[in-house]
Protein backbone atom coordinates (compact mmCIF):
# COMPACT_ATOMS: atom_id res chain seq x y z
CA UNK A 1 0.00 0.00 0.00
CA UNK A 2 1.24 3.47 -0.83
CA UNK A 3 1.55 5.88 2.03
CA UNK A 4 -0.75 8.35 0.25
CA UNK A 5 -3.45 5.68 0.18
CA UNK A 6 -3.05 5.08 3.88
CA UNK A 7 -3.26 8.80 4.59
CA UNK A 8 -6.45 9.03 2.56
CA UNK A 9 -7.97 6.26 4.67
CA UNK A 10 -6.78 7.72 7.99
CA UNK A 11 -8.29 11.10 7.08
CA UNK A 12 -11.70 9.49 6.60
CA UNK A 13 -11.70 8.18 10.16
CA UNK A 14 -13.04 11.13 12.09
CA UNK A 15 -13.89 9.27 15.30
CA UNK A 16 -13.27 11.52 18.27
CA UNK A 17 -11.67 10.64 21.56
CA UNK A 18 -12.17 12.55 24.75
CA UNK A 19 -9.01 13.92 26.37
CA UNK A 20 -7.71 11.41 28.90
CA UNK A 21 -8.03 13.82 31.84
CA UNK A 22 -11.79 13.80 31.30
CA UNK A 23 -11.77 10.03 31.57
CA UNK A 24 -9.44 9.83 34.54
CA UNK A 25 -11.27 12.05 37.01
CA UNK A 26 -14.69 10.35 37.02
CA UNK A 27 -12.95 6.97 37.00
CA UNK A 28 -10.66 7.70 39.92
CA UNK A 29 -13.47 9.23 41.96
CA UNK A 30 -15.51 6.07 41.46
CA UNK A 31 -12.54 3.84 42.34
CA UNK A 32 -11.72 5.79 45.50
CA UNK A 33 -15.41 5.77 46.50
CA UNK A 34 -15.50 2.04 45.94
CA UNK A 35 -12.40 1.41 48.05
CA UNK A 36 -13.75 3.58 50.89
CA UNK A 37 -16.97 1.59 50.80
CA UNK A 38 -15.08 -1.69 50.90
CA UNK A 39 -13.05 -0.55 53.90
CA UNK A 40 -16.14 0.70 55.71
CA UNK A 41 -18.07 -2.52 55.05
CA UNK A 42 -15.23 -4.82 56.13
CA UNK A 43 -12.83 -3.34 58.67
CA UNK A 44 -14.79 -0.18 59.48
CA UNK A 45 -13.44 3.24 60.37
CA UNK A 46 -11.59 3.85 63.62
CA UNK A 47 -13.94 5.02 66.37
CA UNK A 48 -11.99 8.21 67.11
CA UNK A 49 -11.43 9.16 63.46
CA UNK A 50 -12.55 12.77 63.86
CA UNK A 51 -10.62 13.39 67.09
CA UNK A 52 -7.49 11.77 65.64
CA UNK A 53 -7.34 14.47 62.99
CA UNK A 54 -6.57 16.93 65.79
CA UNK A 55 -3.25 15.24 66.40
CA UNK A 56 -0.70 16.47 63.84
CA UNK A 57 1.31 13.24 63.87
CA UNK A 58 -1.82 11.22 63.18
CA UNK A 59 -3.19 13.65 60.60
CA UNK A 60 0.18 13.52 58.82
CA UNK A 61 -0.79 10.03 57.65
CA UNK A 62 -3.56 11.52 55.53
CA UNK A 63 -1.46 14.47 54.40
CA UNK A 64 1.51 12.39 53.28
CA UNK A 65 -0.36 9.59 51.56
CA UNK A 66 -2.93 11.96 50.06
CA UNK A 67 -0.23 14.29 48.76
CA UNK A 68 1.68 11.35 47.30
CA UNK A 69 -1.48 10.02 45.64
CA UNK A 70 -2.59 13.32 44.17
CA UNK A 71 0.84 14.42 42.96
CA UNK A 72 1.45 11.02 41.40
CA UNK A 73 -1.98 11.20 39.76
CA UNK A 74 -1.03 14.50 38.17
CA UNK A 75 2.31 13.12 37.01
CA UNK A 76 0.50 10.07 35.54
CA UNK A 77 -1.59 12.35 33.36
CA UNK A 78 1.55 14.08 32.10
CA UNK A 79 3.38 10.80 31.49
CA UNK A 80 0.41 9.53 29.49
CA UNK A 81 1.40 11.93 26.70
CA UNK A 82 4.11 11.03 24.21
CA UNK A 83 6.44 13.86 25.24
CA UNK A 84 5.39 13.60 28.88
CA UNK A 85 8.77 12.48 30.18
CA UNK A 86 10.23 15.91 29.47
CA UNK A 87 7.45 17.70 31.33
CA UNK A 88 6.91 15.36 34.27
CA UNK A 89 8.38 16.63 37.50
CA UNK A 90 9.40 13.69 39.64
CA UNK A 91 11.07 15.88 42.26
CA UNK A 92 7.74 16.61 43.93
CA UNK A 93 7.26 12.89 44.51
CA UNK A 94 10.74 12.64 45.98
CA UNK A 95 9.95 15.55 48.31
CA UNK A 96 6.96 13.70 49.76
CA UNK A 97 9.20 10.68 50.32
CA UNK A 98 11.87 12.83 51.94
CA UNK A 99 9.36 14.46 54.31
CA UNK A 100 8.14 11.00 55.33
CA UNK A 101 11.69 9.89 56.06
CA UNK A 102 12.38 13.03 58.12
CA UNK A 103 9.27 12.23 60.14
CA UNK A 104 10.53 8.69 60.63
CA UNK A 105 13.92 9.92 61.87
CA UNK A 106 12.27 12.43 64.17
CA UNK A 107 9.98 9.75 65.64
CA UNK A 108 12.95 7.44 66.08
CA UNK A 109 14.74 10.10 68.10
CA UNK A 110 11.65 11.05 70.08
CA UNK A 111 10.58 7.54 71.05
CA UNK A 112 12.17 6.09 74.20
CA UNK A 113 14.49 3.19 73.41
CA UNK A 114 12.37 0.58 75.17
CA UNK A 115 9.26 1.59 73.18
CA UNK A 116 10.97 1.55 69.78
CA UNK A 117 10.33 -2.06 68.91
CA UNK A 118 6.70 -1.81 69.95
CA UNK A 119 6.18 1.34 67.90
CA UNK A 120 7.72 -0.06 64.75
CA UNK A 121 6.08 -3.46 64.78
CA UNK A 122 2.74 -2.26 66.14
CA UNK A 123 -0.16 -4.65 66.30
CA UNK A 124 -1.54 -4.49 62.80
CA UNK A 125 1.46 -4.78 60.50
CA UNK A 126 0.01 -7.74 58.58
CA UNK A 127 -3.40 -6.12 58.15
CA UNK A 128 -1.71 -2.99 56.84
CA UNK A 129 0.47 -4.87 54.37
CA UNK A 130 -2.51 -6.81 53.03
CA UNK A 131 -5.23 -4.16 53.07
CA UNK A 132 -3.40 -1.29 51.37
CA UNK A 133 -2.55 -3.37 48.27
CA UNK A 134 -6.12 -4.70 48.13
CA UNK A 135 -7.58 -1.20 48.38
CA UNK A 136 -5.26 -0.03 45.60
CA UNK A 137 -6.50 -2.54 43.04
CA UNK A 138 -9.43 -0.39 41.86
CA UNK A 139 -7.59 2.96 41.69
CA UNK A 140 -4.47 1.50 40.06
CA UNK A 141 -6.60 -0.37 37.51
CA UNK A 142 -8.46 2.82 36.60
CA UNK A 143 -5.24 4.80 36.21
CA UNK A 144 -3.51 2.13 34.10
CA UNK A 145 -6.58 1.70 31.90
CA UNK A 146 -6.75 5.45 31.34
CA UNK A 147 -3.03 5.72 30.61
CA UNK A 148 -3.36 2.97 28.05
CA UNK A 149 -5.66 5.24 26.05
CA UNK A 150 -2.91 7.81 26.16
CA UNK A 151 0.49 7.27 24.59
CA UNK A 152 3.19 6.88 27.18
CA UNK A 153 6.67 6.52 25.76
CA UNK A 154 8.02 5.38 29.14
CA UNK A 155 5.72 2.44 30.00
CA UNK A 156 7.62 1.15 33.05
CA UNK A 157 8.00 4.55 34.70
CA UNK A 158 4.37 5.32 33.90
CA UNK A 159 3.28 2.08 35.54
CA UNK A 160 5.40 2.90 38.59
CA UNK A 161 3.87 6.36 39.00
CA UNK A 162 0.37 4.96 38.42
CA UNK A 163 1.11 2.49 41.24
CA UNK A 164 2.27 5.28 43.56
CA UNK A 165 -0.88 7.26 42.79
CA UNK A 166 -3.28 4.38 43.35
CA UNK A 167 -1.60 2.98 46.44
CA UNK A 168 -1.02 6.46 47.91
CA UNK A 169 -4.76 7.06 47.73
CA UNK A 170 -5.42 3.55 49.05
CA UNK A 171 -3.12 4.19 52.02
CA UNK A 172 -5.01 7.42 52.80
CA UNK A 173 -8.21 5.36 52.78
CA UNK A 174 -6.70 2.68 55.00
CA UNK A 175 -5.62 5.40 57.43
CA UNK A 176 -9.30 5.93 58.23
CA UNK A 177 -9.29 2.49 59.80
CA UNK A 178 -5.75 2.23 61.14
CA UNK A 179 -5.10 3.31 64.73
CA UNK A 180 -1.32 3.13 64.61
CA UNK A 181 -0.34 6.76 64.96
CA UNK A 182 3.42 6.47 65.28
CA UNK A 183 5.42 7.47 62.16
CA UNK A 184 7.71 4.57 63.06
CA UNK A 185 4.83 2.31 62.15
CA UNK A 186 3.12 4.08 59.29
CA UNK A 187 6.09 5.43 57.40
CA UNK A 188 7.63 1.96 57.52
CA UNK A 189 4.66 -0.25 56.69
CA UNK A 190 2.54 2.11 54.60
CA UNK A 191 5.74 2.91 52.76
CA UNK A 192 6.50 -0.77 52.19
CA UNK A 193 2.96 -1.49 50.98
CA UNK A 194 3.04 1.51 48.63
CA UNK A 195 6.46 0.57 47.24
CA UNK A 196 5.33 -3.00 46.65
CA UNK A 197 2.27 -1.90 44.70
CA UNK A 198 4.32 0.62 42.72
CA UNK A 199 6.88 -2.01 41.70
CA UNK A 200 4.17 -4.45 40.66
CA UNK A 201 2.39 -1.73 38.74
CA UNK A 202 5.66 -0.84 36.99
CA UNK A 203 5.97 -4.46 35.85
CA UNK A 204 2.39 -4.43 34.58
CA UNK A 205 2.93 -1.07 32.91
CA UNK A 206 6.03 -2.25 31.07
CA UNK A 207 3.79 -4.60 29.08
CA UNK A 208 0.28 -3.17 29.35
CA UNK A 209 1.20 0.42 28.46
CA UNK A 210 3.04 -0.40 25.24
CA UNK A 211 1.34 0.63 22.01
Of the pair 10, 113, the CB lying nearest another protein is at: 10
Number of chain positions touching another protein (CB under 8 A): 30
Q: Which of 57, 48, 53, 25 is nearest to 169 (CA)?
A: 25
Q: Which stretch binds another protein (CB under 8 A): 11-19, 92-100, 128-136, 194-202?
A: 11-19
Of the pair 19, 26, the CB lying nearest another protein is at: 19
- 91 is a site residue for another protein (CB under 8 A): no
- 6 is a site residue for another protein (CB under 8 A): yes
> Please, what is the minimum distance in Å from the beta carbon of residue 186 to another protein?
37
The CA distances from residue 85 to 6, 10, 109, in Å, are 30, 28, 38
Q: How far apart are CA 34 and CA 30, in angstroms?
A: 6
Of the pair 2, 114, the CB lying nearest another protein is at: 2
Q: How far apart are CA 46 and CA 48, in angstroms?
A: 6
Number of H helices, E strands in the chain: 10, 0
Angle at 174 between CA 53 and CA 150, to 5 degrees: 115
- 114 is a site residue for another protein (CB under 8 A): no
> Please, what is the minimum distance in Å from the beta carbon of residue 169 to another protein?
24
Amino acid sequence: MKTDDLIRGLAKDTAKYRPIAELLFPGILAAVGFSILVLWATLGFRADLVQSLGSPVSAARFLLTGALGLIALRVSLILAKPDGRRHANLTQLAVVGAVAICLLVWAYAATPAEGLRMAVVGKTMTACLITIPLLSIAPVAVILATMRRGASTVPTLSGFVAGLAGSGLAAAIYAMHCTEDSPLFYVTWYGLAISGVAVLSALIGSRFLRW
